Each structure stands twice: as structure tokens, then as C-alpha cells.
Amino acid sequence: MFQACMAAILGGMQQPSHLSSEPCAPSAWGCACAPWRARRGFLLAGSAAAMGLATAPVAAQVQVGGASGLRKLVPAETLEGAATDQYQQLLAKARAQGALAGDSNPQLQRLRAIARRLIPYTAQWNPRANAWRWEVNLIGSKEINAFCMPGGKIAFYTGIIDQLQLTDDEIAMIMGHEMAHALREHSREQLAKNQATSIGISLGAQLLGLGDLGNAAARLGGQLLSLKFSRGDESEADLVGLELAARAGYNPQASVSLWRKMGQATGDRGGLEFLSTHPAGPERIRELERNIPRVEGLYEAARRG
């Protein structure tokens, strides 16, 4: 009943029409297909972006569900700001420990080169991505982990690259998957669900502006890295990431080799936080195999240039 009432009421809510942000590059960068540059960890995009919920692009080859109206209860800009704060705290801690890779690090340069190829296709899945200050960093740790926080804040741990001996194509699959979580706003939706339950907020109070979900999102930014996504979220991130990588010219077959490596790593090595939230089962691989034919044409077109 709660979900049915919420869906009915939220369907009529209006969303903000634009995002106000300070321009981060010349206006020529306003298109998602415009060039991207790296500058001290940032991949800067144009500031012109349409505000809205993540929806599948018209030309999408993979099939995913529509965005949930529940996420409207948590302002996207509030969550992205909280994510930026947490990300900077994480980098500061890594820097203090001597674990943050410098700009000249070959592995970091490799990651940023892959990101530059993926990013131009992100706004097709969420127009807010045009305004995100994309950032890619590498943290020295044996931990097998990687993530992309709301607003495009990406981090890889050296453990996931070194222990799994990842190829560029496999890295692109991981990066695309993590980008997809941010683009499809899975954290935003999960926080909205958590807060609607824990605060015990009434729909009437929220719609009258008396609710506290927006402020809660800012306070709970520290929970972003510990959120558990649903199986549906994981499947969606797999497919959207697969398409992002294929459009960028990365071999979609690498998605299968990646998760086979993940499966082999399960139970064999320590520090598998990534695998605790990203289980590498046979059904996951079968779902990817079913969808590879959908994106192979994109991959071949990208290779032809």
C-alpha cells in the first residue's frame, strides 16, 4: 500500500528544471561528444546540462527499467555534494598514508585514458553527467575494490588491477559498471528508501516541505560507500556499463572474462569487499552473454572509428 500510494503521488511531482553550477570549461565543451581533458585528477565537462531523472536513451541497445520516482525525495545536487565531500576525505586519508597515486603514475594514467573514452557517452543515460566534475584516482591497497560515487567521483584500488591482472577492456567493464550505478542514481534511490523507512516520514509532510530527506542525504554521505545495491541494480549496472564500454571501443567479451576472474578470486584472497557487493555467479555471466550480441555492433563501429 505504501509503495502504491507513493507511486501515485510522486507521479505528479515536478522536478527541478535546471542545475545551477559554476562553468568549468569554455562553452565549446557543452556537448557530451566534445573533447575531454585531464587536469590534476579532474575530467572536466561543460556546465550546460538538462536536469532530470536517469532514463534509458532512445538509441540504447540494452534493455533496462525506468527510473523510480522515489528518488525524487533526495535532491540529486545534495547527494552529489555529500559524495564530493566524502570523496575528498577519502583522498586526504590516502594522501596522508602515502597511498594516493600521483598524476605521473602509469596505472593512474591508464585509468584516466579509459575514463576519457567512456565519459562522452554517459550523458545519454543521465543528462546531469554533462555538468559533473569527473575525477579519477588510484589508491595503493591490496583491496579488490573500485567505485564511482554520485557526481562522477571514481576511485580504483591497485589490488583490483594487480591481483586480477586486468586488461584495458576488463578495466573498462568495471569502470562502466561503476559509472552506471552513478548514472542510474542507485545510491540516491537506496538512500531515499532507507530514510523514508528510518525517519518514518509521512508523504504528506514531505510534499508540504516538512520532510527531512534532503538534509538527511547530506548527513548520510558517509554511508555512500557502504550501500548495498539490489540484484536489479547490479544487473542494470552490468548492462549499462557493457554498452558504455562497447560504445567507447572496448571488447564486450571482456565482461565475461572479467567476471570469471572475479569468480576465481572469491574465497581465494583477502580484502574482497568488492565481491561481497558484486557477486560473480554463473547467472551474472549468462546475462552478460545474452546481451553481448546487442552491443557488438557498437563495438565494431567504434573500432572502425
Check 135, 178, 189, 243 and give the catalytic one. Answer: 178
Element (H, E) at 42: strand 42-43
Residue 192 φ/ψ, nearest 5 degrees:
-60, -45
Which three cell numbers mark 289? 552473454
Cβ-based neighbour number of residue 48 at 10 Å: 16
287 part of the active site:
no
Cα distance between residue 247 and residue 239, in whole Å: 12
| Residues contacting residue 255 through CB under 8 Å, at least 6 positions apart | 173, 238, 241, 242, 245, 288, 292
Which three cell numbers mark 62? 540494452
Cα distance between residue 303 and residue 248, in whole Å: 9
Residue with cell 538509441: 59
Q: Which residues are catalytic?
A: 178
